[in-house]
Structure 1
């Protein structure tokens, strides 16, 4: 598993790790049941605090992306298709919201945004 962190990013390190693991799960590069590196191993590889990695793993577990078995490690969770579809829908929604904010910030009216949306849908 390859995780790249950007120390100059405004995004917290734990969030960078979390997002990259989520992305790997969503894209299928991280498979169900696959073993993740231990907290200490990943912290050592990335040269960051183990607490940072632990926070990321805790978030991923809370959101249902990984399962941690005491004494055995953390594994990619067996996610249902519904769960994966819902996560993808949330990503699309966030990207649409971002696009609308950008359009409004440059003076586009709702009607223009709607027209543009339907024009893009036709492609």
Structure 2
């Protein structure tokens, strides 16, 4: 297992760089990787995952473009320290997408508004 617990697979439809990107992004958004955390170097992660340096660099470049990490030449790669607002916005967007899917499923099952709210309230109570 590698230091970030990233798993890549040939059976995925996603290219390796995207699998790496998505998993690191998920770790950041879920705050399993805290602000300021040091990421493995591009070379080290490539070696751990048995992929090319170009693959890990592409994943890190995407994360940097999205504002999730800082890549500082000669120093390393770090989770941005000022990303709490970004994390909140991204989680809010993901919640909206999940709610859209929930509504689609509810409509397919013939569940009306009041039943959906009742179920949601019950699940919220169960999870708090």
Give the TM-score, by structure 1 length. Answer: 0.82
- Separation in structure 2 between the aligned mates of residue 54 and residue 38 of structure 1, nearest angstrom: 9
2:28 corresponds to which of 20, 25, 28: 25
- Separation in structure 1 between the aligned mates of residue 90 and residue 15 of structure 2, nearest angstrom: 21
Equivalent residue for 2:120? 121
CA shift, 1:54, in A, is: 0.9
Aligned to 2:39, what secondary structure does the other structure show?
coil
* Match runs of 1:95-114 below 5 Å: 95-102=98-105, 107-108=108-109, 112=111, 114=113
Q: 1:56 to 1:80 in 2, by over 3 A?
A: closer
Q: 1:72 to 1:88 in 2, by over 3 A?
A: same
Equivalent residue for 1:85? 88
Aligned residues: 119
- Separation in structure 2 between the aligned mates of residue 98 and residue 48 of structure 1, nearest angstrom: 34
1:36 corresponds to which of 33, 39, 42: 39
Where does structure 1 lack aligned partners over 5 or more consecutive residues? Answer: none
- C-alpha RMSD of the superposition: 2.0
Equivalent residue for 1:65? 68
- Separation in structure 2 between the aligned mates of residue 57 and residue 7 of structure 1, nearest angstrom: 20
Aligned to 1:43, what secondary structure does the other structure show?
helix
Where does structure 2 lack aligned partners over 5 or more consecutive residues? Answer: 123-128
